[in-house]
Amino acid sequence: MNREEAWQLVTEWTQSESLIHHMLAVEAAMRAYAHHFGEDETRWGVVGLLHDFDYEKHPDMTAPGGHPFTGLQVLRDMGIDDDIIRAIAAHASERTGMQPESLMEKSLVAVDELTGFLTAVALVRPSRDIRDITKIKSVRNKWKDRSFAAAIHREEIEEAAAALGVDLWEEHIPRVLEAMKGIAADLALDGSRLQDEP
């Protein structure tokens, strides 16, 4: 599956702008990690883009046909390669039982919730611009505040970064942050949200 085909699938299944922004952020982060590991950036990006494409229509993660099971079946029916399907299954290992093993699978787990956290950090800045996060210290301060973005599982991100063999603060968070800065406009994290506010 190429990027255009993946994007078409995402837009057919998802109307929520915030969910589309999340998938775009994960795509960018996965491409950054593919580059770091010398892997196929397009392929890894497709995994990031598709990982939640079925969530809006099937949000009940306790149901047999909920996320990600419906999406996985759609991809199987399309004849998508097993490594892509396995990576998407592994990002929901607590439901699928598929533990992340490959670098691609571990990277998806490592970046998934982190993109949400970095989005939250950007949105509380006066500019609403992720490019204004110039010091990792400002991210660390929010990280320590457990009431901030409380739904984000910080321990999962920490464990996933360790499983990848990258330092959380020196390498992992800066890499994902830079990837997201590179597509700030696509994520509506370029200050444009201020225009929508009263």
Instruction: Name 158's Cβ contacts closer than 8 Å, sequence gap at least 6.
Output: 168
| Cβ contact 89:102 at 8 Å | no
**Which structure tokens are listed for 15?**
């109307």
Q: Which residues of the chain have pLDDT under 50?
A: none
Looking at residue 196, its pLDDT comes to: 59
**Which residue is associated with the tokens 């992720």?**
130
Looking at residue 129, its pLDDT comes to: 97
Looking at residue 149, its pLDDT comes to: 96
Please name which of 87, 60, 85, 90 lies closest in space to residue 74, comparing C-alpha atoms.
85
Looking at residue 95, its pLDDT comes to: 77
Domain 3-191 has CATH 1.10.3210: yes
